[in-house]
Chains A and B, each alone.
Chain A
Amino acid sequence: MSSNTLALEATDISKTFGSVKANDQINLEIKKGKIHALLGENGAGKSTLVNILFGLYKADSGVVKVNGDAVDLGRPKDAIDRGIGMVHQHFQLVPVLTVAENIVLGNEPANKASVIDIDNAKEKVRELAEEYQLDVDTEATVEDLPVGTQQRVEILRSLYRKADILILDEPTAVLTPQETDHLLQVLKKLASQGVAIIFITHKLREVLEVADEVTVMRNGQVVGSTTPAETDESGLAEMMVGRSVVLRVSKEAASPDETVLSVRNLCVEDDRRLLAVNDLSLEVRSGEIFGIAGVEGNGQRELVETITGLRTIDTGEIFIGDTSISEFSPRQISELGVAHIPEDREKHGLIGAHSVADNLILNRYYKSPFSNRGIRQQKAIANYAKDMVDKFDIRTPSIETPSSSLSGGNKQKAIAAREFSHNAKLLVASQPTRGIDVGSIEFVHQQLINQRDQGLAVLLVSAELDEILSLSDRIGVIYRGQLIVTADAADLDRNRIGRIMTTGSDSN
Chain B
Amino acid sequence: MSENQTRDIGKFFFNKRWWILTTVLLVFFTLWTAEFQQANTTSVLVSTLRHSTPLVLGAMCGLLCERSGVINIGIEGQMLMSAWGGFMVASSSGSLLLGVFAGIGIGMMMGGVLAGISVGLRGDQIIAGTVINIAAIGITSFFFSLGRTLPSGKAQVIKLGPLADIPVAGRVLFSNKPITYLTLLMIPTLWFLLFRTKWGLRTRAVGEHPSAAETVGISVIGMRYLNVIMGGGIAGLAGAYLSLEAVGSFERGMTNGKGFVALAVMIFGRWNPVGAWGAALLFGYASAIQTQFQFRDWLTNDPQFIGIIPFVVTIVVLAGFVGRARPPASIGQPYSRE
Contact = CB atoms under 8 A, between A and B. Distances in A.
A95 B209 contact: yes
A92 B212 contact: yes
Contacts, number: 75
Given A76-B217, A105-B216, A97 B208 contact: yes
Interface residues of B, number: 22
Contacts of A95: 208-209, 329
B80 to A, nearest CB: 34
A162 to B, nearest CB: 14
A108 B198 CA distance: 7
Contact of B205 (A77, A81, A105, A115): A105
Interface string A42-56: 000000000000101
Contacts of A102: 212
A114 B215 contact: no
A93 B209 contact: yes
B204 A97 contact: yes
A309 to B, nearest CB: 26
Contacts of B209: 92-95
B190 interface: no
Nearest to B217: A77
Interface in A87-104: 88, 91-97, 101-102
A115 B202 CA distance: 12
Contact of B216 (A76, A113, A116): A76
Contacts of A116: 196-198, 201
A92 B197 contact: no
B197 A114 contact: yes
B211 to A, nearest CB: 6
A75 B219 CA distance: 9
B338 interface: yes
A54 B197 CA distance: 27
Interface residues on A, range: 20 to 34
Contacts of A97: 201, 204-205, 208
Nearest to A86: B215
A293 interface: no
Interface string A106-147: 111010011110000000000000000000000000000000
B213 interface: yes
B214 A94 contact: no
B199 interface: yes
Contact of A88 (B196, B198, B205, B215): B215
Contacts of A200: none
Given A56-B337, A101-B201, A116-B198, A80 B216 contact: yes
A105 B329 contact: no
A384 interface: no
Interface in B199-233: 199, 201-202, 204-205, 208-209, 211-219
A57 interface: yes
A116 B209 CA distance: 20
Given A108-B198, A114-B197, A116-B198, A76 B214 contact: yes
A110 B216 contact: no
A93 B212 contact: yes
Contacts of A86: 215
Given A80-B217, A105-B205, A94 B212 contact: yes
B192 to A, nearest CB: 8
A107 B217 CA distance: 9
A227 to B, nearest CB: 31
B335 to A, nearest CB: 13
A101 B205 CA distance: 10
Contact of B201 (A88, A91, A108): A108
A56 B335 CA distance: 13
Given A56-B337, A57-B338, A95-B329, A76 B215 contact: yes
Nearest to B208: A94
A71 B211 CA distance: 23
A76 B209 CA distance: 15
A57 B212 CA distance: 15
- Residue of B196, B214, B215, B329 ringed by the most chain A CB atoms within 10 A: B215
Contact of A110 (B197, B214, B218, B219): B197
A157 interface: yes
A96 B208 contact: yes
Given A95-B209, A97-B208, A105-B205, A110 B198 contact: yes
Interface in B33-60: none
Nearest to B200: A116
Contacts of B199: 114
Nearest to A51: B338
A92 B211 contact: yes
A160 to B, nearest CB: 10
A374 to B, nearest CB: 35
Given A110-B198, A114-B198, A116-B196, A92 B215 contact: yes
Which 6 pairs from chain A and chain B are nearest by CB? A106-B216, A77-B217, A92-B212, A92-B215, A114-B198, A94-B209
Interface of A: 54, 56-57, 75-77, 80-81, 86, 88, 91-97, 101-102, 105-108, 110, 113-116, 157
10 contacts: A56-B337, A56-B338, A76-B214, A80-B216, A86-B215, A92-B216, A95-B209, A97-B208, A106-B216, A115-B197
Given A88-B215, A114-B199, 13 more contacts: A54-B215, A57-B338, A75-B214, A95-B329, A96-B208, A97-B208, A105-B201, A105-B213, A106-B213, A107-B217, A114-B198, A115-B196, A116-B197
